[in-house]
């Protein structure tokens, strides 16, 4: 059974109302925003609905927007039966980067959330084991945030200012 994009949008809007916003389809992939209180109910609804069957969490990652002092947590979910992908974004403030964990629904969220925490400092509340995964345990920074330069700024042997690096 195929999902019609318009019907899905209409259904989600009638179920969750104003909690969902900014519906768009960049490069044909339905994308919308929600807030941190609604993300788990939305995922749960999509997961448990017998028509949609979004049972597969493809990807979890984050993006840092220093100008608005926000972090975006981005979920890609997928319904294999309907061959339909979906992107859900949640913007959370840099000062209080907390969001409930998706491990209650998907086991695969476990390490992906740890990775997101490791690099962006997003705290997934309720996560069974939220510790660093790829970086060393005693690291203090969250290195993928934009304020951290790629290389040690004190190095003078690597001046690439001419080439905009």
User: Which residues bind to another protein, rule: CB under 8 A?
Assistant: 26-27, 29, 31, 55-59, 61, 63, 74, 76, 80, 83, 85, 87, 106-108, 110-112, 115, 119, 132-136, 143-144, 148, 150, 163-165
Instruction: Output the smallest distance, CB 45 to another protein, in A.
Output: 17
Residues 164, 137: contact at Cβ < 8 Å?
no
Residue placing its CB nearer to another protein in the complex, 38 or 112: 112
Residue placing its CB nearer to another protein in the complex, 23 or 56: 56
- In sequence order, the β-bridge partners of residue 33 are 21, 89
- Write out the two tokens for 16: 């969750």
Instruction: Output the smallest distance, CB 14 to another protein, in A.
Output: 26
Q: For 74, list phi and psi in degrees, rounded to 5.
A: -120, 125
Helices (H) and strands (E) in the chain — how many of each? 3, 7
Residue placing its CB nearer to another protein in the complex, 13 or 135: 135
What is the residue whose two structure tokens read 């969220």? 109
């Amino acid at each position: 059974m195929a999902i019609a994009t318009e019907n899905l949008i209409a259904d989600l809007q009638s179920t969750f109302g104003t909690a969902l916003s900014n519906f768009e389809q960049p490069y044909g992939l339905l994308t919308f925003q929600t807030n941190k209180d609604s993300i788990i109910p939305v995922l749960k609804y999509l997961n448990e609905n017998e028509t949609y069957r979004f049972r597969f969490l493809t990807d979890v990652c984050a993006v840092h927007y220093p100008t608005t002092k926000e972090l975006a947590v981005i979920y890609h979910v997928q319904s294999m039966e309907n061959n339909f992908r979906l992107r859900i974004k949640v913007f959370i403030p840099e000062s209080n980067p907390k969001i409930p964990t998706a491990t209650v629904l998907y086991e695969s969220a476990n390490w992906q959330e740890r990775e997101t925490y490791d690099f962006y400092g997003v705290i997934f509340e309720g996560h069974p084991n939220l510790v660093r995964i790829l970086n060393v345990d005693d690291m203090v920074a969250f290195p993928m945030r934009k304020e951290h330069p790629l290389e040690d700024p004190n190095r003078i042997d690597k001046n690439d200012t001419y080439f905009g690096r």
